[in-house]
Amino acid sequence: MKAIVAVKRVIDYNVKVRVKADNSDVDLANTKMSINPFCEIAVEEAVRLKEAGTVSEIVVVSVGPKAVQEQMRYAMALGADRGIQVETAAAPSSLDVARLLAKINEEENADLFILGKQAIDSDNNQTGQMLAALLDIPQATFASEVKIADGKAEVTREVDGGLVTLEMDLPAVVTTDLRLNEPRFAALPKIMQAKRKPLAVKTVEELGVTLSNSTELLSVEPPAERQAGIKVGSVDELLDKLRNDAQVL
Amino acid sequence: MNIYNAPAQDTAFVLDQLVQFDKLCEAMHLEEVNLELANVIVEEAGKLASEVLAPLNAVGDSNGAKLSDDKVQESPGYSDAYQQYMENGWATLTAPEAFGGQALPNVVGTAVNELWHSANMAFALCPMLTQGSIEALIAHGSDELQQAYLPRLVSGEWTGTMNLTEPAAGSDLAAVATKAVPNGDHYLITGQKIYITWGDHQMTPNIVHLVLARLPDAPAGVKGISLFIVPKFLLDENGEPGELNDAKCIALEHKLGIHASPTCTMSFGDNGGAVGYIVGEENKGLAYMFTMMNHARQSVGLQGLSISERAYQQAAWYAKDRTQGSRKDGTKIPIIEHPDVRRMLMAQRAGCEAMRGLALIAAAEIDRAHAGAAGASERVELLTPIVKGWMTEMANELTSLNIQVHGGMGFIEESGAPQHYRDARILAIYEGTNGIQALDLIGRKTLSDQGAALAALLDEMAGVEAELRAAGLDKFANRYAASVARGAEVREWILENAGADRQTMGAVAFDFLMLMGYLSGAWVMAKSAASAKALDAQESAYGAPFLSAKVATARFYAEHYLPRVEQHAQTLMTGLDAAFVLTDEQF
């Protein structure tokens, strides 16, 4: 069984995000970049399925400039077998990425697609769903448990107020939630091996996909600065402030 | 708070700009290794260090290793952490491929070891000692011993210990009294060893002790000591740990620091003799020990950096969090805005960055020496006592500054600041006290070659002045050039005065060691500042904030630490003869 795992290079989750002075975008100059945490969970899940003998090959795919190879090598150090980078300098939309993945699958014919439920930079939560629609295959989003048996996937999904368990025919798309697993640390010998694993580079043109550019980033605003608080002398005063100044009661 | 983050960016800068790592790998014919890989390795090791090992540091301090029924129980959580360390392959980093290692350069191992020691020095001592036993076996063990023990030591499945010290044989190993009596294909070892780091624990199914002992007909003194392997469990016919050997831990020391590192009194042969196998030839044990000494001593110097970095990170966090005093608008002032606190933080930062540069340069010289580069062996010999001695003295000062930044809270154990200060104190003592290092530097490393290796280093240092001027750092260049010239004067003075009175050399050796330390640190920081200035802030991956901080930190080093070169030079050239006026009885 072949699994395709898509990974995105994003600003590291520990980094305090800065906005460019002209509000045109987030400032990524000299910023630590990492694999999107949900994508890392997707890689980990695929590796566990491989260790369990369910999956035989893990193909990691990323879309972006050469730098995304860092995150692809990291996925390989965790256990992915080979990589396909779609080289582009543009920031593709979710739909573009889904179309590129669908195109890649024409050659790969994967049985399982594991994607992060969303990327922590754009927070779109779209690519997995769009990929399932384009391929016309079932999807299970926000997975907290994945079991594969007899050509079917049983996926427990985290939904508001509880859990939903679905059974789907394969091939299918799964998007990962935080509690699906806790990714391992990459082991030193695997980091060394990852350098030698095959990584193919394709261009958007080679894949015959035209990026839609259907969305445009207009501006980015940092959250409002927190104002200094005040000290109140009594509970009565607190209630008064909440009622009259803050008007929350 | 006592969190730890690997200083990956500074490590990358040092490997890239000071060590010239890619060139080093070319010289070593390592086609698959480059700076990018080294950075990934350091980053990934940093995760284990900060997420797994660092949180156990305080746990081990308050719940040290315990001895009961002849068994040492390591601190809670340490065994699990060790399994993770081992399963992720970190033990294999620098060992040869033939025994399951990754054969990465020593300088990468050093960069990674810095992180383990910062995160948890007591823990990291266990792999550090194992590495020593691996080196001994690789250099001197028979094929049979290598096949039996090396793969498991390299993988980390077993750990190793070094059994040198005895109650009457500390710095003077000529006094070793432990006996080894030939008995068929092996020897029977009897005697007691003290201060044996990680001499026993339950983390692995076997422990391999390397033991210095004396054969019955051995010549007296240093030429009559042999080296033996004494496994905790003897290996059965399948090479698996079987019967318990006649070697055990009979006591644990109660120490000032590194409580999680069991410091064992080992008793060999209480029931007739522990089975041991000779490493190499008879009576050559001490010479074998010396072949591993550079690496071992540099490792301890590295610990000085590690613990200082950990303390610095804690001090920086506290200084930003703790407020004292108010501004006119009523807002509180974090103490980092107070100039004296800032002075202390900069002293810690500049010290750490200078030490990191020096430690990695010295570690890379070991790689260059292995690759046969001209002058590299001499440079290793010269730098090793400086790395060990100066960096561990700095660790005492810098961990003390962390306490000072904390104010009253720094004296309280719960803040975590005292642990680093207590843990650091051993570093100036073990693996050859700094007095021994100073004698080594002035005698074996300076006088014995008429100051040739030192002259080569001073020449190289002098060359950096032009780089500073080219970078527009003229004030720095003036200070630096004057200090390097002072170093050359001191060299002349030592060579002139050595013949007259050997006692004088002993008296001034420590000042010489410290002088060379501060000067070497200045050399490293001068190179760093010049490189940082030369890099284009827009194009470089390091970014403008890092590069400008590097230049400012280097400047602070030159203003704060470099004058100490002059101080030590003045003291040294007095000959300190007043130290010998009093009779012994007058003390």
Please, which residues 144-203 of chain A have a Cβ atom closer than 8 Å to chain B? 185-192, 195-196
Q: Which is nearest to A83 in space by CA: A103, A106, A104, A55?
A: A104
- pLDDT, one tens digit per residue, over B238-282 is 999 999 999 999 999 999 999 999 999 999 999 999 999 999 999
Q: Three-state DSSP class for B1? A: coil
The whole-angstrom separation of Cα B120 and Cα B423 is 10
Contact call for residues A80 and A5 (beta carbons, < 8 A)? yes
Contact residues for B145 (Cβ-Cβ < 8 A; gap 6+):
B137, B229, B277, B279
Looking at the predicted structure, is the pLDDT value of residue A179 above 80? yes
Confidence at residue B420, expressed as pLDDT on a 0 to 100 scale:
98
Cα B343-B347-B350 angle, rounded to 5 deg: 130
Q: Is the peptide bond before B96 cis (omega within 30 degrees of 0)?
A: no
Annotation: CATH topology of B159-283: Butyryl-CoA Dehydrogenase, subunit A; domain 2 (2.40.110)
Contact B102/A189, CB-based, under 8 Å? Answer: yes
Q: A30 and B102: CB-CB below 8 Å?
A: no
CATH number of this structure's domain B292-323+332-432: 1.20.140.10
% residues pLDDT > 90 (chain B): 93
pLDDT band for position B284 (50/70/90)?
very high
| Chain-chain contact of A191 with B32 (C-beta, under 8 angstroms) | no
- Single out the residue of B335, B109, B587 nearest to residue A188, CA to CA: B109
Q: Which residue of B has its CA nearest to A194?
A: B37
Res. B294 pLDDT band, cuts 50 70 90: confident
Residues of B classed as catalytic: 431
What ipTM does the predicted assembly reach? 0.89
B355-414: pLDDT as tens digits: 999 999 999 999 999 999 999 999 999 999 999 999 999 999 999 999 999 999 999 999
Across the interface, do B44 and A188 touch by the CB < 8 Å criterion? yes
3-class secondary structure, B50? helix
Q: Note the pLDDT of residue A109.
A: 96
Give the pLDDT confidence score for residue B1 in this predicted structure: 67
- 8-state DSSP, A19: B
Do the beta carbons of residue B402 and residue B311 sit within 8 Å? yes
pLDDT value of position B260: 98
Q: Are B440 and B432 in contact (CB under 8 A)?
A: yes
- Mean pLDDT, residues B61-70 taken together: 95
Q: Give pLDDT tens digits for B440-491.
A: 999 999 999 999 999 999 999 999 999 999 999 999 999 999 999 999 999 9
CATH for A2-221 (3.40.50.1820, 3.40.50.620, 3.10.20.30, 3.30.930.10):
3.40.50.620
For residue A95, pLDDT over 70 is answered with yes
Q: List B226's β-bridge partners, or say none.
A: B213
Does residue A230 sit at the B interface (CB-CB below 8 Å)?
A: no
Q: What is the mean pLDDT of chain A?
A: 94
CA distance to B160, B197, B201, B288, B504, per residue, from B210 (Å):
7, 12, 16, 11, 37
At B324-368, the pLDDT tens digits run 999 998 899 999 999 999 999 999 999 999 999 999 999 999 999
Place of tokens 């010049």: B530
Nearest to B496 by CA among B388, B584, B572: B572
> Is B155's Cβ below 8 Å from some Cβ in A?
no
User: What's the mean pLDDT when you consider all of chain B?
Assistant: 96
Using CB atoms and an 8 Å cut-off, which of residues 35-64 of chain B contact chain A? 37, 40-41, 44-45, 47-48, 51
The domain segmentation of chain A, as residue ranges, is 2-221
pLDDT at B95 over 70: yes
Displacement of CA B218 from its chain's centroid (Å):
33
Is the pLDDT higher at B159 or at A225?
B159
| C-beta separation of A240 from A123 below 8 A | no
**Per-residue pLDDT band at B28 (split at 50, 70, 90):** very high
Residue contact B44–A190, C-beta within 8 A: no
Q: Do A185 and B47 touch (CB under 8 A)?
A: yes
List CB contacts (< 8 A) between A189 and chain B: 89, 92, 102
Q: Which residues of B458-483 are buried (b: 16+ CB within 10 A; e: fewer)?
A: beebbebbebbbebebeebbebbbeb
Residue B199: is its pLDDT beyond 80?
A: yes
CB B419 within 8 A of CB B57: yes
Band (B499; pLDDT cuts 50, 70, 90):
confident
**What's the pLDDT at B6?**
96
**Closest by alpha carbon to B60, among B253, B258, B314?**
B258
Nearest chain A residue to B547 by CA distance is A30
Contact assessment for residue B529 and residue B562, using Cβ atoms and an 8 Å cutoff: no
pLDDT digits (tens, 9 = 90+) for A16-56: 899 999 999 998 888 889 999 999 999 999 999 999 999 99
B chain contacts of residue A230, beta-carbon cutoff 8 Å: none
Chain B residues close to A29, C-beta within 8 Å: 543
